[in-house]
Amino acid sequence: MIYTQFLELNENGKLQAALGSDGVYILDGRNTIETMHKDAMKRFHKMKKFHKNYVGFKIQKSSRLDDDPEILGYFWDTERFSKNENE
């Protein structure tokens, strides 16, 4: 399974994996990594309207969500991440 793990800043400004059903987004593994990244990016922009503390995501590959995943790529919303990091 290939999925997006959204990342957020906690109340102490530390980066952590977002929890709950909105914290992950299952991707279509038949697509190329470029297409999966575009799909994840679209979902990220939709989700950050509701979750203001989302600052990025990882694309991960694993047989289960609770396994130790292989990381296929990252994305950071650098404007939001650096702004929150410096506050």
- Give 31-74 pLDDT, tens digit per residue: 999 999 999 999 999 998 898 889 999 999 998 887 788 888 87
Q: How many domains does the chain have?
A: 1
| H-type alpha helices, 9-77 | 33-47
Which pLDDT score, from 0 to 100, does residue 78 have? 58
Is pLDDT of 85 > 50? no
Structure token digits, residue 53: 């503390």
Please count the other Cβ atoms lying within 10 Å of the Cβ belonging to residue 55.
Answer: 25
Which pLDDT score, from 0 to 100, does residue 81 have? 54
Half-sphere exposure of 28 (CA within 13 A, CB side): 7
Q: Which residue has the higher pLDDT, 86 or 47?
A: 47
Which pLDDT score, from 0 to 100, does residue 82 have? 54
Please count the other Cβ atoms lying within 10 Å of the Cβ belonging to residue 31.
Answer: 13
Is pLDDT of 16 > 70? yes
Range of the domain at 76: 2-86
